[in-house]
């Protein structure tokens, strides 16, 4: 630890991995700044600003002694780089402008200039790069939020940094989103992601506003009126006499979606291999990797038999949405529904009150939503959650990681009695 003019300069590590990034901390009076350097050292070899070298023992053989020597040479190099960095920081302190505010951002600029000067959008992009294992759809959604953030900056003629995400930003962004027609739920989702990005870089030593944790508070979201299909409507759809093979195919998927309770991305991947001898269809959900078991009900079996022990021809989500609207129109689902929807094709998540016949509002998620709506309260809730992959009653987007084995006969009996 270096003491000079009442200040302290400390180099330390905080990782438990084999090799740790070296951090530096500068303290003087009320200043307490931290920054991550570009240096790494064997974990446990940096204590109180001193590099602790390896020592050979009497039992060390020639190979071990050579390895220890090589490790100590690397430690000598780290020690030298720390000393050079220490000189650089002290020189930056001595030559800083009177207007310079010494904080974590200033210290980061002294040890890693590029990192400190990054805008929030640059940090956001780096966040995506650093998060390994993100699904392609998630990456697309995150990049979409970056575009929205950039549009906000362009309209306000500003460039924001991590430290800029504060209470003033929230008020300004909320007002801007309102003028653009974004729904409160969409605004809340954007702010939640922005908050996550901020916390990610705080863990790396970046300074963020204490207000970040409150970004999503006090945003009242309007519940969107969700439509679903009743069992009577499903029966009507099931009994339709359809001449067009492509509509017949889409109709069968729609009926199946009601009895399977899965997302389009999951039920459309079902094949004969997913059908098990215990009378279930077993799937691994694409979005969450949750493993689910779905009892095969009589109506499901009818459709499986129709396709020689398999399933209808798979359809893209766009084609599926188009065709099931046509099927529902033929089934007479003409009730006028007032709900919150998109203003237009180019307006993304911007919302407005819309009134349309029910068949126009049918989309790929309706089977899953109808499954939950119909069976909730008529079956044991844990059995519904196991089939859909939902973790709690309140949440549609938090899922089980692994499926539990279910009493297939019991659940199937409950489902049939619920119909």
**Dihedrals phi, psi of 286, to nearest 5 degrees:** -65, -40
CA separation for the pair 332, 317 (Å, rounded)? 23
| H-run or E-run covering 252 | helix 245-260
Q: What is the mean pLDDT of residues 91-99?
A: 85
User: pLDDT digit string (tens) for 353-381?
Assistant: 678 899 999 999 899 889 988 887 788 87
Give the CB-side neighbour count of residue 248, counting CA atoms within 13 A. 8
Task: Give every CB contact of residue 407 below 8 A, 6+ residues apart in sequence.
Answer: none
User: pLDDT digit string (tens) for 211-261?
Assistant: 999 999 888 765 556 788 999 999 999 999 999 999 999 999 999 999 999
Compute how many other C-beta atoms are within 10 angstroms of the C-beta atom of residue 311.
24
CA separation for the pair 86, 10 (Å, rounded)? 9
Angle between helices 245-260 and 366-375 (to 10 degrees): 40
CA separation for the pair 269, 59 (Å, rounded)? 61
CA separation for the pair 66, 76 (Å, rounded)? 15
Weakest-pLDDT range from 75-79, 96-100, 309-313, 347-351: 347-351
Give whole-number Cα distances, 85 to 39, 97, 98, in Å. 10, 20, 22
CA separation for the pair 151, 194 (Å, rounded)? 15
User: pLDDT digit string (tens) for 257-283?
Assistant: 999 999 999 999 999 999 999 999 999
Of the candidates 228, 267, 250, the residue with the CA atom closest to the CA atom of residue 319? 250
DSSP assignment letter at 162: G
% helix, strand, coil for the chain, step of 5: 50, 15, 35
**Dihedrals phi, psi of 22, to nearest 5 degrees:** -90, 130
| Confidence bin at 346 (pLDDT 50/70/90) | very low
Of the candidates 69, 82, 87, the residue with the CA atom closest to the CA atom of residue 41? 82
């Amino acid at each position: 630890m270096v003491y000079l003019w009442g200040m302290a300069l400390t180099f330390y590590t905080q990782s438990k991995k084999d090799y740790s990034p070296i951090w530096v901390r500068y303290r003087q009076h009320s200043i307490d700044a931290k920054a991550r350097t570009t240096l790494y050292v064997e974990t446990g070899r940096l204590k109180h600003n001193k590099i602790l070298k390896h020592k050979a023992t009497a039992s060390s053989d020639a190979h071990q002694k050579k390895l220890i020597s090589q490790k100590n040479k690397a430690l000598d190099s780290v020690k030298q780089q720390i000393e050079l960095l220490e000189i650089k920081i002290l020189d930056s302190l001595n030559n800083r402008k009177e207007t310079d505010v010494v904080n974590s951002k200033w210290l980061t600029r002294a040890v890693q200039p590029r990192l400190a000067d990054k805008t929030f959008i640059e940090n956001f992009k780096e966040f995506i790069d650093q998060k390994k294992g993100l699904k392609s759809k998630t990456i697309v959604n995150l990049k979409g939020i970056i575009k929205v953030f950039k549009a906000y900056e362009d309209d306000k003629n500003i460039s924001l940094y991590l430290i800029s995400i504060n209470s003033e930003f929230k008020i300004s962004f909320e007002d801007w989103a309102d003028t653009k027609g974004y729904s409160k739920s969409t605004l809340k989702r954007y702010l939640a992601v922005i908050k996550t990005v901020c916390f990610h870089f705080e863990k790396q030593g970046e300074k963020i506003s204490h207000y970040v944790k409150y970004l999503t508070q006090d945003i009242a979201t309007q519940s969107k009126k969700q439509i679903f299909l009743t069992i009577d409507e499903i029966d009507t759809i099931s009994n339709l006499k359809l001449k067009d093979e492509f509509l017949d195919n889409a109709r069968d998927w729609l009926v199946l979606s009601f009895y399977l309770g899965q997302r389009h991305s999951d039920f459309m991947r079902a094949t004969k291999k997913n059908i098990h001898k215990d009378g279930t269809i077993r799937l691994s959900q694409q979005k969450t990797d949750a493993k689910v078991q779905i009892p095969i009900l009589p109506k499901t079996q009818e459709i499986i038999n129709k396709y020689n022990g398999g399933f209808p021809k798979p359809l893209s989500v766009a084609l599926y949405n188009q065709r099931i609207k046509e099927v529902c129109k033929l089934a007479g689902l003409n009730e006028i529904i007032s709900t919150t929807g998109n203003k237009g094709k180019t307006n993304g998540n911007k919302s407005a009150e819309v009134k349309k016949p029910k068949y126009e509002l049918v989309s790929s998620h309706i089977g899953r939503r109808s499954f939950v709506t119909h069976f909730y309260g008529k079956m044991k809730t844990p059995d519904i959650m196991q089939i859909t992959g939902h973790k709690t009653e309140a949440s549609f987007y938090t899922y089980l990681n692994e499926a539990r084995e279910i009493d297939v006969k019991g659940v199937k009996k409950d489902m049939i009695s619920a119909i």
